[in-house]
Amino acid sequence: MTDDDPRDRDAGHGQDDHPFSEGEGFDDPDGFDLDPPELSVDPSEVDPIDSRVLTELLDERQLGTEDVDVEELVEVGLSYIEINRYEQATETFERAAQFADDDRVEQEARVNKGAAHAELEEYDAAIGAYREALDIDADPDHTASAETNLAYALWESGRSEQALEHAERAVERDQRFGQGWYNRGFFLLERGLAEDALDSFDNALRLGFRNAEVLEEKARALEEVGEDERAEEVAEEAREMREEAEEELVRDRQRARNS
């Protein structure tokens, strides 16, 4: 939760808090790097960063009904996500789901559709898409992601008890789902169950789901149980991680301007 904290979309629960697939299933949740397929762009003719041009290229890859390539549509949907064209993404994922003859691919498309709706803050639509994905239940990875994303959407809709229930189901589905453990810990902490939350945060960290948000929530839980010294150590680690991420972002932007 995606990943973006249900209390504050600027505190780690923004775009990256709604796990999208990579087009061929969900990889281990060590962040949500959207890796769209290569677009046929000639850098000498157009700026590949121009989202209008990218959108036109993606639109060209929308196939006719008689020639639908469902996996290609999923890739197109993910590429729309990459350029923040969430409405086009929801339409593309819905089309992919409708034409899919493989339950696993349909489930993947519906989970991604729900995540795109969540980015638009259309939580009722997101909830519907996740429930449709869960009705299919074809792949444990997709099912765990649907459960944890559903928990987030329910939280945003004010249904916190149901959110915790689905966060619990996510880790039951996949004990190695770090994002799910983090979400479970967050909801437990919100209900005052700090010790149980700590166990969940530690599970998330052991599974490689390590970012500033997880560390910040763990520090908050440590404070709740009276371990102030450890809390400060973890909070300091989170601050350092955020600073490193910000510096890397600046370097990336400088490289992009110079290229």
Residue 174 in domain: no
* CATH number of the domain residue 143 falls in: 1.25.40.10
Contacts for 257 with CB less than 8 Å, ≥ 6 apart: none
Tokens of 257: 């301007």
Tokens of 186: 């967050």
Residue 256 in domain: no
Band of pLDDT at residue 259, cut at 50, 70 and 90: confident
Section 221-241 average pLDDT: 97
pLDDT tens digit string along 10-24?
333 433 455 655 433
Section 145-163 average pLDDT: 93
Section 107-121 average pLDDT: 95
Residue 130 in domain: yes
Closest-CA residue to 117 (of 126, 106, 105): 126
Residue 111 in domain: yes
* Res 37: pLDDT: 35
pLDDT tens digit string along 171-230?
999 999 999 999 999 999 999 999 999 999 999 999 999 999 999 999 999 999 999 999
* Res 23: pLDDT: 39
Section 59-80 average pLDDT: 73
Q: Count structural domains, the chain.
A: 1
| Residue 164, pLDDT above cutoff 70 | yes
Q: Which whole-number Å values give the CA distances from 4 to 31, 78, 125, 173, in the listed order? A: 10, 18, 19, 22
* Res 16: pLDDT: 44
How many residues are given for the chain?
259
Closest-CA residue to 140 (of 25, 9, 259, 24): 25
DSSP string, 2-60: ----TT-GGGT-SGGGSPPP-SSS----SS----PPPP---TTTS-TT-HHHHHHHHHH
Among 20-24, 70-74, 88-92, 238-242, name the one with the lowest average pLDDT. Answer: 20-24
Residue 78 in domain: yes
Residue 146 in domain: yes
In which domain, by residue range, is 96 found?
Answer: 66-159
Band of pLDDT at residue 153, cut at 50, 70 and 90: very high
* Res 21: pLDDT: 53
* Res 67: pLDDT: 62
Q: Are 45 and 175 in contact (CB under 8 A)?
A: no
Tokens 């052991």 appear where? 206
* Res 17: pLDDT: 55
Q: Are 32 and 16 in contact (CB under 8 A)?
A: yes
Residues of the chain with pLDDT > 90: what percent? Answer: 61
Residue 139 in domain: yes
Residue 103 in domain: yes
DSSP string, 71-111: HHHHHHHHHHHHTT-HHHHHHHHHHHHHH--SHHHHHHHHH
* Res 255: pLDDT: 86
Task: Provide the mean pLDDT of the chain.
Answer: 80
**DSSP annotation of 65:** G
